[in-house]
Amino acid sequence: METILEFSSSIFLLIGSFLCISGGVGILRFPDFYTRMHAVGVTETLATAMILIGLILHNPDFLVDIKLMIILLMTIFISPTASHALAKAAQHNKLMPKLDTDIKADNKKVTSSNP
């Protein structure tokens, strides 16, 4: 039993870490503010959940598990509100999103300027 819990906890933590790194890479890679926000979405939903589930499985103390679950619930309630506030602030300050057509044009420019 102990080993199964230990093993599954490690698996969850590993997946969570991978998702966190992916979110970070997305923030660096994506072209503009709004698309970067979607990359943050990965870190704040599934990555957080995976890491917290991993920690819950790792810890046998029931009261600590409850506290971790409350943290998970709070993150799930708070993060969309924060994302929405960020997005709305950006929109109100007239930050225009780079849409599909702009990105295609950019790519073309880059490829045509390369001889």
Partner 1 sequence: MRHTLFLSLTLAMFWVLISGHYTTFILVLGVISIAIVVFVAHRMDVVDHESQPVHLTLKLPAYYAWLIKEIILANILVVKHIWLGNKTISPVMTTIKASQKTDIGKVIYANSITLTPGTVTLELEGDKFIVHALLRESIKDLESGEMDRRVTQLED
CA–CA gap between residue 68 and residue 106 (Å, rounded): 45
Least distance from C-beta 68 to partner 1, angstroms? 12
Q: Which is nearer to partner 1, 6 or 66 (CB)?
A: 66
Q: How far apart are CA 10 and CA 112, in angstroms?
A: 48
The distance of closest approach from Cβ of residue 3 to partner 1 in the complex, given in angstroms and rounded to an integer, is 26
Would you tell me which residues interact with partner 1 (CB under 8 A)? Answer: 19, 22-23, 25-26, 29-32, 34-35, 37-39, 41-42, 45-46, 63, 66-67, 70, 76, 79-81, 83-84, 87-88, 91, 97-100, 103, 107
Smaller CB separation from partner 1, 9 or 22: 22
